[in-house]
Amino acid sequence: MSYPDIRPRRLRRSAAIRRLVEETRVAPAELVLPLFVKEGLTEPKAISSMPGSVQHSRESLRKAAHDAVSAGVGGLMIYGVPADGNKDETGSGGLDPDGILNVAIRDVIAEVGDSTVVMSDLCLDEFTSHGHCGVLADDGSVDNDATLALYAEMGVAQATAGAHMLGASGMMDGQVGAARKALDAAGFKDTAILAYAAKYAGAFYGPFREAVESSLQGDRRQYQQDPGNAREALREVDLDIAEGADIVMVKPAMPYLDIITRIRDRVDVPVAAYQVSGEYAMVEAAAANGWIDRERVILESLTSIKRAGAQIILTYWATEAAQFLRDRY
């Protein structure tokens, strides 16, 4: 038999053709920029393990939010860092309407309004003296149900401050349902919940711990997922959706691309992924040493996450990547 002269390279021969047939394309509106704001700062403070990222002052936070919106970034995730000495056993600063996180939410809403999605971190770890995501029982373990009561109060405080979406990130059983019930009872039926449904107890979070000045004692393996488990992630996703999650997320992103795909194939709600601090830091370190092409690696990494099935990507490069994408297309 004779075969036609099949040449797939015909569709790669020029930039214009490659652009025309590109199967996966990231848009700036699909990117979410995580932002850290530190109580009491008067100017931004560099995060040594995350080159190019900072702890913001309230003023610089507003500017960063404005710049992200101008670049077309689709959302902002706000993390509050209390002043030195302002942590306690129950993380009360996270519930305080005048605490740094709720004040920062109001600042950002005042700056950008509804022009982007303002998200807030619904978790206690930045505010607890022990660094865990909930309150501790007498035996030192995290008390799941006591923590849910605090999440409910914290969620209402964030919604009252103006957050459009709450990032339920603590990996407590029932956290989405507790937040949803409290929000609805307080009249915030339209406030959405982004569930960190599959958040793994991996080793890629180190730089983030510096960014939020974590006081973590021990580890979080009792409540975050084991890196070897995939079916468990599907169970977590099913539970979160049943409890009212509007979006489900996988964290970290690139080490868990297979999990993103399995979840995307399973659910009919939007799927997000968080390109975490360790992923960011590795690329920045390699680029600083001249070992990789920084811009190309940033865009390739984002494309891989999108290709795996994530519709929304949280990344510390969001504003910069949005500009790369606008220049590229």
Q: Which of 45, 63, 181, 251 is catalytic?
A: 251
Pairing label, strands 247-251, 192-199: parallel
Q: Mark whether 199 is an active-site residue.
A: yes
Q: List, as one string, the DSSP characters of 250-283.
A: EESSGGGHHHHHHHHHH-SS-EEEEE-HHHHHHH
> Which domains are delineated in the chain?
27-328 (3.20.20.70)
- Enumerate the H helices of 120-252 as residue ranges: 144-161, 175-185, 206-211, 231-243
Q: Which of 38, 87, 199, 306 is catalytic?
A: 199
Q: How distant, in Å, are the alpha carbons of 8, 19, 23, 24, 238 from that of 13?
A: 10, 11, 16, 18, 44
Is residue 281 within 8 Å of 313, Cβ to Cβ?
A: no
Euclidean distance between CA atoms 25 and 199, whole angstroms: 25
The two structure tokens encoding residue 173: 């059983």
Task: For the beta carbon of residue 59, count every other beta carbon within 10 angstroms.
Answer: 14
The two structure tokens encoding residue 296: 């190309």
Give the chain's largest Cα–Cα span: 79
Please name the residues in contact with 6: beta carbons below 8 A apart, sequence gap of 6 or more.
none
Residue 248 bridge partners (DSSP): 195, 271
pLDDT in tens, the chain (329 residues): 677 889 999 999 999 999 999 999 999 999 999 999 999 999 999 999 999 999 999 999 999 999 999 999 999 999 999 998 899 999 999 999 999 999 999 999 999 999 999 999 999 999 999 999 999 999 999 999 999 999 999 999 999 999 999 999 999 999 999 999 999 999 999 999 999 999 999 999 999 999 999 988 888 989 899 999 999 999 999 999 999 999 999 999 999 999 999 999 999 999 999 999 999 999 999 999 999 999 999 999 999 999 999 999 999 999 999 999 998 88
Strand segments (E) across 57-211: 75-81, 117-122, 165-168, 192-199
> Which of 95, 45, 87 shows the shortest CA–CA distance to 215?
87
The two structure tokens encoding residue 47: 């995060």
**Confidence (pTM):** 0.96
Query: Residue 55: what residue type?
Result: Q
Euclidean distance between CA atoms 113 and 68, whole angstroms: 13
3-state secondary structure of 200: strand
Q: Mark whether 306 is an active-site residue.
A: no
Task: For the beta carbon of residue 227, count every other beta carbon within 10 angstroms.
Answer: 16
Euclidean distance between CA atoms 86 and 106, whole angstroms: 20
Is residue 237 within 8 Å of 267, Cβ to Cβ?
A: yes
